Amino acid sequence: MRERNFIALITKRLAEASEGIFTGLASVPVPDRQGDVLPLSAFKRSLAEFRADRLVLPVLLDHDPARQIGSVLALDLTDAGLEVTAQLALGLDDGRAAFERMKAGPVGLSIGFAPAPGSITQQGDLRIIDDVDLREISVVSLPANAAARTLSLKSVPYLQDILREHGGMSMRQSKRAAAAAHRAALAEPDHDPDESDAEQGAALVLAELRRVQSIFRGN
């Protein structure tokens, strides 16, 4: 019964009109306009620190530390680049403005970082940086690399609170699970005429949450 209620609660919240979570590529492993190249391996240390809750990443507007517009929920290394899932602060004017821009289409992303000592090598006109301390993610108008941009804009607010209050998850677990639920929402399961779309969505999200919980239990 508790699981059934949990599914119903998730379904209800996912169906509510809510907003603010986006996914995008913050960095791609190809030369940017300045001739810098950051291979995927450059982020492994920062990714490990983030997943261990030793690194908090803000989302800034144009790399301005006085204009934080959100927080990073999840980081992943994919073949395409450094994928970020983040929550915009819609109660702030800058956060709401960034959200409206994303609703209109893809928006540029960029990263703030510091190269680790000894991590830079010069190869002709290119500067290869193979280890960085990631500091922030920024929403920008003109990214250094045109492929660094938002990929999707979805709505899964309140989910972290639900997972903590009703799912028995810790803060760390709920942040990662919320990002997993967001990715699940992007999936397109085969339509089953015997189930409503909401029920399918809830089942998919619950499957993702179980997977994430099993990871933590295994740790």
Active site residues: 63, 110, 136
Say how many residues make up the chain: 219
* Residue 141: count of CB within 10 angstroms of its CB: 10
Q: Which of 69, 71, 65, 38 is nearest to 53 (CA)?
A: 71
